[in-house]
Amino acid sequence: MHVLSELLTPERTVCRASGSSKKRLFETLAKVVSDDNPSLAEADIFAQLIARERLGSTGLGAGIAIPHCRIARCSEPIGCLVTLEEPIDFDAPDDLPVDILFVLLVPEEAHQTHLDILARIARLFSQSRFCEALRSAPDDGSLFKLATQWDN
């Protein structure tokens, strides 16, 4: 099964969001995830994403970032896909701003699962055709469909 179809919901897929900074964007991402998963507190998601980002940028390069963390009360791995209206600085290794983010939240005890899913996501987002298709999506529904049905 396609990794993103296992992690995403239409409610956690946002096309052309606005975000002026990492902090503001993390606030938005935390709200999107919490709204779709009421058992996960928005403040906890935000705090964990910020704490992880302080360890080092989750920007991969080529305009892609994969913020990720383990979180209490998360019963299974979940994702949130966001494209940005305007790219933002993310301290990526290639110094390019980020315009596609995939947030991954996993249960606190899911150490190896976390790493395995991250590797699968990173491989997918390293495909330039996939990323260009996401960037061209006109709305949330199209973005969700592209992301979950991509056939590489």
The residue from 2, 68, 111, 114 that is catalytic is 68
* Contact by Cβ (8 Å): 141, 11: no
> What distance in Å separates the CA atoms of residue 88 and residue 18, rounded to the nearest whole number?
10
Give residue-wise pLDDT tens across range 70-119.
Answer: 898 898 999 999 999 999 999 999 999 999 999 999 998 877 777 889 89
| Active-site annotation holds for 68 | yes
Instruction: Tell me the CATH architecture of domain 3-149.
Output: 3-Layer(aba) Sandwich (3.40)
For every residue of 39-55, DSSP letters joined together read TS-HHHHHHHHHHHHHH
Give residue-wise pLDDT tens across range 126-152.
Answer: 999 999 999 999 999 999 999 999 875
Please give the pLDDT value at position 76. Answer: 92
Give residue-wise pLDDT tens across range 49-71.
Answer: 999 999 999 999 999 999 999 89
Rounded to two decimals, the pTM is 0.94
